[in-house]
């Protein structure tokens, strides 16, 4: 049996989630010519995550983030490889494992016919929850929408509802698929606070986010995927030791705007001689792309002049 999050003496129980060579191949048949196509959505992912850690899952569109979360939630079975929670194969302990996992997927999972309040009551019963629904509604800011149905809510309000549902469960692992992507500052702050609180409670949180400040603030580890493969699996500090920060620097040359990608060192030395118009931090996805391209052409990131872009 998998243990509770705190033992009898009230101290947090340390748990591990281990991925061993996890791969998922999707097969599809073309309706036009009947040809079958195989796509490896995630490939040979291995690593260990611990309770109390917050893990950012990053990567460009189609890199396999949702597929990996679907596997970790056991919605999808891997084609090969295994996932172990405290040494036990989660696909052999489905019921017990599912009882300790909260998953807010890309599509959400609320009952469309029920109001916000009834959805929360329904999930509260399913999860056998002791949590106070009113308090949760207030925490995520959905108290004023409690009588609305999910399809009457905006995207951000629906995300808040999904977060509220995840809070009802006495989970030890929380999986969140882009809970704050494209949402307003207030909703982003709610997500950040919720994640922080989960960490405080000793839960393992794995969530898709590309917000650099948020990652610096709340995340311990980063898993970066590219075309289904792990390009990075380690701590946030290790990530910044491996990947340099880059900036898109726009400056004027004879009234013409030019943009160059520069490392911090290049920026420090060149900003005094350039007529800089604006500077933008490159996002994590862009940094990963730069670094990956540099493997194919090693001087790509060093020689900023090769990246000259005209606006
Ligand atoms: N059910 C499926 N059947 C076939 N192919 C799939 C299925 N689900 C995902 N894929 C493919 O697997 C790859 C990874 O998809 P996935 O949804 O995991 O990416 P993602 O990183 O979550 O992307 P996004 O940032 O757009 O959400 C993609 O090429 C996608 O087309
Ligand atoms: Mg996705």
From the CA atom positions of the chain, what is the Rg in Å? 22
235 & 287 share domain: no
199 & 257 share domain: no
195 & 237 share domain: yes
Q: What is the CATH number of the domain that holds 77?
A: 3.40.50.300
Render 3-27 in DSSP notation, one character per residue.
Answer: PPSB-TTSPBPP-EEEEEEEEEEEE
Taking the CA of residue 24 as reference, the ligand 1 atom at the shortest distance is 12
Ligand number nearest CA of 228 is 1
250 & 237 share domain: no
In a domain, residue 11? The reply is no
116 & 200 share domain: yes
Strands (E) located in the chain: 16-29, 36-50, 54-58, 80-85, 88-89, 101-104, 173-176, 204-208, 221-226, 229-235, 246-253, 256-263, 275-281, 309-310
Ligand number nearest CA of 176 is 2
> What residue owns the CA closest to ligand 1's atom 3?
26
In a domain, residue 3? The reply is no
Q: Are strands 88-89 and 54-58 parallel, antiparallel or unpaired?
A: unpaired
178 & 189 share domain: yes
End-of-domain residue from the set 202, 220, 241: 241
Instruction: For residues 81 and 67, give the distance between their C-alpha atoms in angstroms, rounded to a whole number.
Output: 14
Per-residue confidence (pLDDT) for residue 116, from 0 to 100: 94
In a domain, residue 250? The reply is yes
Grouped pLDDT means (10 residues each) for the chain, 311 residues = 52 86 92 86 96 95 95 96 97 94 82 93 92 92 91 88 90 90 84 93 94 90 95 92 87 92 89 89 83 50 38 39
CA of 255 to the centre of ligand 2 (A): 42
Global pTM?
0.85
CA of 127 to the centre of ligand 2 (A): 26
In a domain, residue 8? The reply is no
End-of-domain residue from the set 194, 215, 241: 241
CA of 107 to the centre of ligand 1 (A): 13
End-of-domain residue from the set 224, 241, 258: 241
Per-residue confidence (pLDDT) for residue 171, from 0 to 100: 92
CA of 223 to the centre of ligand 2 (A): 14
Least Cα distance to 206 among 22, 1, 11, 6 occurs for 22
170 & 260 share domain: no
Q: Other CB atoms closer than 10 Å to residue 280's CB: what's the count?
A: 12
In a domain, residue 5? The reply is no
Backbone angles phi, psi at 143, to 5 degrees: -55, -40
109 & 258 share domain: no
**How many domains does the chain fold into?**
2
122 & 253 share domain: no
In a domain, residue 57? The reply is yes
> What residue owns the CA closest to ligand 1's atom 16?
64
> What residue owns the CA closest to ligand 1's atom 4?
26
CA of 106 to the centre of ligand 2 (A): 6
In a domain, residue 9? The reply is no
Residue 79 structural domain: 16-29+36-241
Query: Dihedral angle at the C-alpha atoms of 158, 164, 169, 175, nearest 10 degrees?
Result: 60
Per-residue confidence (pLDDT) for residue 10, from 0 to 100: 53
Q: Which residues pair with 204 in a beta bridge?
A: 173
Per-residue confidence (pLDDT) for residue 310, from 0 to 100: 36
> What residue owns the CA closest to ligand 1's atom 28?
62
167 & 155 share domain: yes
- List residues near ligand 1 (CB under 6 A): 26, 28, 39, 41, 59, 61-67
Q: Are strands 173-176 and 101-104 parallel, antiparallel or unpaired?
A: parallel
In a domain, residue 146? The reply is yes
249 & 229 share domain: no
CA of 276 to the centre of ligand 1 (A): 40
Per-residue confidence (pLDDT) for residue 277, from 0 to 100: 92
175 & 301 share domain: no
Contact in structure between 193 and 163 (CB atoms under 8 Å): no
Backbone angles phi, psi at 48, to 5 degrees: -120, 135
């Amino acid at each position: 049996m998998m243990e509770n999050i705190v033992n009898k003496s009230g101290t947090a129980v340390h748990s591990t989630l281990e991925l061993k060579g996890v791969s998922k191949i999707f097969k599809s048949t073309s309706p036009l010519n009947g040809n079958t196509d195989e796509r490896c959505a995630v490939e040979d992912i291995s690593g260990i995550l611990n309770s109390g850690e917050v893990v950012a899952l990053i990567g460009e569109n189609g890199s396999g983030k949702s597929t990996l979360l679907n596997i970790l939630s056991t919605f999808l079975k891997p084609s090969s490889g295994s996932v172990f929670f405290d040494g036990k194969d989660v696909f052999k302990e489905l019921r017990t494992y599912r009882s300790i996992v909260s998953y807010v997927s890309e599509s959400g999972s609320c009952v469309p016919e029920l109001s916000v309040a009834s959805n929360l009551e329904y999930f509260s019963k399913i999860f056998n929850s002791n949590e106070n629904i009113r308090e949760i509604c207030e925490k995520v800011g959905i108290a004023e929408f409690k009588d609305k149905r999910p399809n009457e809510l905006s995207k951000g309000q629906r995300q808040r509802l999904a977060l509220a549902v995840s809070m009802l469960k006495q989970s030890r692992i929380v999986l969140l698929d882009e809970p704050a992507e494209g949402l307003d500052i207030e909703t982003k702050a709610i997500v950040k606070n919720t994640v922080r609180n989960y960490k405080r409670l000793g839960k393992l949180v794995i969530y898709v986010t590309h917000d650099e400040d948020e990652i610096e603030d709340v995340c311990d580890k980063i898993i970066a995927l590219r075309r289904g493969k792990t390009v990075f699996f380690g701590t946030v500090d290790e990530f910044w030791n491996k990947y340099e920060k880059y900036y898109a620097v726009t400056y004027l040359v004879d009234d013409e705007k030019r943009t160059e990608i520069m490392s911090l060192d290049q920026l420090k030395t060149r900003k005094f001689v350039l007529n800089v118009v604006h500077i933008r931090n490159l996002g994590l996805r862009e940094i990963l792309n730069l670094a990956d391209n540099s493997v194919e052409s090693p001087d790509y990131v060093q020689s900023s002049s090769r990246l000259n872009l005209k606006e």
